[in-house]
Structure 1
Amino acid sequence: MYEFDVFISYRRTASDITEWIRHHFHPRLSEVLDNNRYEDAKIFFDDRMRTGSSWPGELRSVLQHSRVLVPVCSPKYFRDELCLAEWYSMAEREALGTGPRRQLIYPVIFCDSKNFPGWAHERRMRDLQEWNHPFEHFQTAPAYLDFNQEIKRIAGELEDLIERAPEWRDDWPVRTPAPEPPKRARMPRF
């Protein structure tokens, strides 16, 4: 069964993107989506993963149990193996559907879409570059009101995708990147 309505996918080594999601995108989206739906909205953002959890294994399970993927796109997102595995997993799920193709990927642009790969531009993306300020005090800026309106539009569109998501299957494809090879041990110098 599904556990999450939305899985937020992002490049985890980019601290400005992480902070923007943590302070602005995730809390506003969660609140607005939850207010709009009869059921409780469940959005996965991995800053709440338990210490000591198996990172790739838990992410794989959460992705398999999520209805919609929201990639927060930057040029380096498309070079990150884990991000690409999350995108490709959901794209494969879209392709498995019968009848009209169901959209399960809702990309948002954090920065510089000119340098995205061509295949990424085949999808309509929601441009949030105007509001990509990671600092907490952005919430007191007048532009935050416009950001809030944009989040309301996003939540409305996500509601529709969530409602139209296919019935859950235990055989949803989930790609995982190849594990990194162990680093070579350095010989101590005497």
Structure 2
Amino acid sequence: MAARIERVVTSGQFTLDGGTWDVENNVWLVGDDHEVIVIDAAHDAEAVARAVGDRRLTAIVCTHAHNDHIDAAPELADRTGAVIWLHPDDLPLWQLTHPDREPDRHLTDGQVIEAAGADLTVLHTPGHAPGAVCLYDPGLGTVFTGDTLFQGGPGATGRSYSHFPTIIGSIRDRLLTLPPETKVLTGHGDATTIGAEASHLEEWIARGH
């Protein structure tokens, strides 16, 4: 059975640098009827656990460690026995939310995470956060971009741990080199494609952040 992609939208708050904002997050499930991985366990462990159902949850992969993408990860891991993966460059951000709980494993660039026939290649794409990653599966024709790339432009870089030239470089060198028809599934909001966003690169650079 081929892997499929499911989305759960959860609501909560993003907090950084003394500010707090209400947000809705996309939680992505990749798997089949028996096994699944979760990308970004945001806000509501119960809602994500319901979507997983009686399937085996093998991994919780964090695209980065802003609180709104990881706040439900430890509870979901404790409930299911899943392993939490995070790029080590985002440990300082992780510790702002979970000072007493470390991730279980460290993501590395080029690593492949397998689940139910899906092969998700880790692309280190810093800029929105130092340890931000995207997950690309050519078989599914899909890249999960977290908050690195959205419909209409790059993720925000106006707060601590972020850097606009770095995110532009990550998008240009790691994402826009993917096939233009690749579907882009984001951490918030609607999907897009690599081709649709590639046409805006120079505009983003001119506009700055």
Question: Normalised by the size of structure 1, how large is the TM-score?
Answer: 0.33
Q: Which has the larger radius of gyration?
A: 1
Q: Answer 1 or 2: which has greater strand percent.
A: 2
